[in-house]
Amino acid sequence: MPALTFELHLNTQQFLRYYQGQASQVVVICSNGQRLRLPAANLRSFLRQDGIHGWFRIHFDDNHKLIRLERLSAP
């Protein structure tokens, strides 16, 4: 199962754009330099009072369908 690792730092104001309908995707640069675009809805479970912060790993199948997104560490 392929996986990519990335660091993400979004404050609550930045993520609020998703709830307001202004943004539907988040673009990150993975640790291997690859650009990854993922639906913001997949990050909702990681939202805390100060936003979304930490290292994450995304697992996907051979067709690039998301299987699992996990937080590896938080600051």
Q: State the pLDDT at residue 74.
A: 65
Q: How far apart are CA 15 and CA 3, in angstroms?
A: 24
Q: What is the pTM of this model?
A: 0.85
pLDDT band at 75 (very low <50, low <70, confident <90, very high): low
**C-alpha closest to that of 56 among 19, 12, 64, 75:** 75
Predicted confidence (pLDDT) per residue in 5-62, tens digit: 999 999 988 888 887 878 889 999 999 999 999 999 999 999 999 999 999 999 999 9
Q: State the pLDDT at residue 15.
A: 84
Predicted confidence (pLDDT) per residue in 39-51, tens digit: 999 999 999 999 9
Nearest 5°: the CA angle 6, 63, 73 is 20
Q: How far apart are CA 67 and CA 45, in angstroms?
A: 15
What domains does the chain contain, in order, with CATH numbers? 3-73 (2.40.50)
How many Cα neighbours within 13 Å face the side chain of 50? 6
